[in-house]
DNA sequence: CAGTTTGCATACGGCTCGTATGTGAGTCGC
DNA sequence: GCGACTCACATACGAGCCGTATGCAAACTG
């Protein structure tokens, strides 16, 4: 394929800009981050940015996409590492909670993302995370562990609960102490979908 | 108290500015809303704004506070209208979901608010909503309907789930059809905290 | 009724974004 | 192997917005 010197360099500048943006957006927030400063930090100008990403929100979208992809991959990996399906579901929930503790994730994906890119439930990567949860749910129902129910609705609420738990933890004074509380409450709520033992 | 012509007028301009901001922020979003346009729409200038609210985010905070107060009052009222405690909890959850369907609430409180005012779990009004849920939970535990558990953690996750459900509904193509699904999943999850019948 | 306070308007500076234009290195046809 | 073309990126410019400093007139005070 040979890619060519041209495209190769371009991919490198894209990567540099995204990396710089990840840092700047996380530190100052999207609105307060100056594109001049951001590009200068990696030895470029706004010209490169507008050529590669269209506009400022285009760069944000690229950054969010990258972070989201990382998260989805990690969640899937963690889920597959567990043997029991139910344990996998709980582990995925816990993984979401822990990942959302990352300040970068919080600021960029959870706070600025929705404000400047629109509702997150439309984002492709979010749907990937959701799909992972839905898969596990489906298996759990086939398996009899969980009573038949609205898979999508349940998956969305579970993810939402986990997400909110993460925000709470991050804002708390003692995150280390809050995390197990959130985990516990999450698992407690989740038992609501378990099949009643006769 | 006599308030005085001065303070009376000032309260009026504050109200006018908040009302205009509510409209502008909901339509264009906080970042894209021009303070010049916004103030001119009610026959004022930015001078009035900076005198009354300090800066742009100060106005946003005032708007969010007003909307949140409305929401908390409504949720409380709906909860008290029900007789059973469990029914009250479910009704409050449903109320949150329905209120978050309001585009104004979505855009200003759920999307722009966190981005420009910081984490919502710090907002006074959010704590009010949470307090309402926690009260009901406490009563339910004393009552035996619900097993003892971490009240705050559970309340936060319940509210988070409801909130996320609302976002999902609003983004869906057929909100009318999605609402009952979200409600059902919410109630299903909530049963996780019910005491096991011996 | 004179002096002070103050709610709001006006004027200004600085920063930011997006576009329009320039340029030099890489690429392709012959 | 060389000239023309492409295109990634830099530079230059205009417009808009925010926050502050200043001005003014109406309302309060004694």
Domain boundaries, chain A: 1-54, 63-193
- pLDDT-based confidence at A197, cuts 50/70/90? low
**CATH number 1.25.40.10 is the correct assignment for the domain at B63-193:** no
Q: Residue A195 pLDDT more than 60?
A: yes
**Do the Cβ atoms of A161 and B165 come within 8 Å?**
no
Tell me which fold the domain A1-54 belongs to: Arc Repressor Mutant, subunit A (1.10.10)
Q: Check: CB of residue B159 under 8 Å from CB of residue B180.
A: no
Whether residue A54 is predicted with pLDDT greater than 80 in this model: the reply is: yes
- Give A-chain residues touching B184 at CB under 8 angstroms: 149-150, 153
Q: Which residue is nearest to nucleotide C19 (CA to C1')?
A: A50
3-class SS of residue B55 = coil
CB contact under 8 A, A149 and B193: no
Of the candidates A119, A170, A192, the beta carbon closest to that of B192 is on: A192
Give A56-104 pLDDT, tens digit per residue. Answer: 999 999 999 999 888 888 988 998 999 999 999 999 889 988 888 899 9
pLDDT at A6: 66
Residue nearest to nucleotide C9 (CA to C1'): B47
User: What burial class does residue B138 get, using C-beta atoms within 10 Å of its C-beta: 0-12 exposed, 13-18 middle, 19+ buried?
Assistant: middle
In total, the C-beta contacts within 8 angstroms joining chain A to chain B are 146
* Mean pLDDT of chain A, nearest integer: 89
Distance from C-alpha of A90 to C-alpha of A189, rounded to nearest angstrom: 11
Please list, in sequence order, all residues whose beta carbon lies within 8 angstroms of the beta carbon of residue A100, skipping any fewer than 6 positions away: A106, A110, A162, A163, A166, A167, A169, A170
pLDDT by residue, tens only, chain B of 198 residues: 446 666 777 889 999 999 999 999 999 999 999 999 999 999 999 999 999 999 999 999 999 999 988 888 898 899 899 999 999 999 988 998 888 889 999 999 989 999 999 888 778 767 677 888 898 999 999 999 999 999 999 999 998 898 888 888 888 889 889 999 999 999 999 999 998 654
Chain A residues whose C-beta is within 8 A of a chain B C-beta are: 29-31, 106, 110-112, 114-116, 119-122, 149-150, 152-154, 156-161, 163-165, 167-168, 170-171, 181-182, 184-186, 188-194
pLDDT at A125: 65
CA A85, CA A83: separation in Å to the nearest integer?
6
3-state helix, strand, coil in chain B (%, to 5): 80, 0, 20
- pLDDT of residue A184 exceeding 70, the answer is yes
**Minimum-distance CB partner of A189 among B115, B171, B193:** B193
* Cα-only R_g, chain B: 20
Query: What's the number of CA atoms in the CB half-sphere (13 Å) around residue B97?
Result: 28
Amino acid B73 CA to nucleotide D20 C1' distance, rounded Å: 38
- Return d(Cα A87, Cα A187) in angstroms, integer: 10
Note the CA–C1' distance, B39 to C7, in angstroms: 15
* Closest Cα in chain B, distance from residue A96 (Å): 14
pLDDT at B71: 87
Q: Distance between CA atoms of B166 and B104, rounded to whole angstroms?
A: 13
What is the rounded average pLDDT of the residues A42-48? 95
CB-CB contact of A175 with A127 (8 Å): no
Phi, psi of B194, deg, nearest 5: -70, 150
């Amino acid at each position: 394929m040979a890619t060519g010197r041209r495209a190769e360099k371009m991919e490198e500048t894209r990567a540099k800009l995204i990396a710089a943006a990840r840092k700047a957006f996380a530190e100052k927030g999207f609105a307060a981050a100056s594109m001049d400063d951001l590009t200068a930090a990696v030895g470029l100008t706004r010209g490169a940015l507008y050529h590669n990403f269209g506009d400022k929100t285009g760069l944000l979208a690229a950054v969010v996409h990258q972070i989201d992809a990382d998260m989805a991959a990690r969640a899937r990996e963690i889920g597959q590492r567990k043997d029991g399906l139910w344990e996998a579901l709980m582990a995925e929930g816990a993984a979401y909670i822990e990942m959302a503790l990352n300040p970068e994730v919080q600021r960029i994906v959870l706070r600025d993302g929705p404000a400047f890119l629109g509702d997150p439930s439309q984002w492709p990567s979010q749907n990937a995370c959701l799909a992972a949860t839905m898969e596990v749910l489906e298996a759990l129902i086939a398996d009899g562990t969980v009573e038949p129910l609205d898979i999508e609705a349940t998956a969305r609420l579970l993810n939402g609960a986990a997400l909110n738990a993460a925000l709470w933890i991050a804002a708390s004074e003692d995150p280390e102490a809050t995390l197990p509380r959130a985990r516990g409450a999450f698992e407690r709520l989740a038992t609501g979908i378990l099949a009643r033992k006769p």
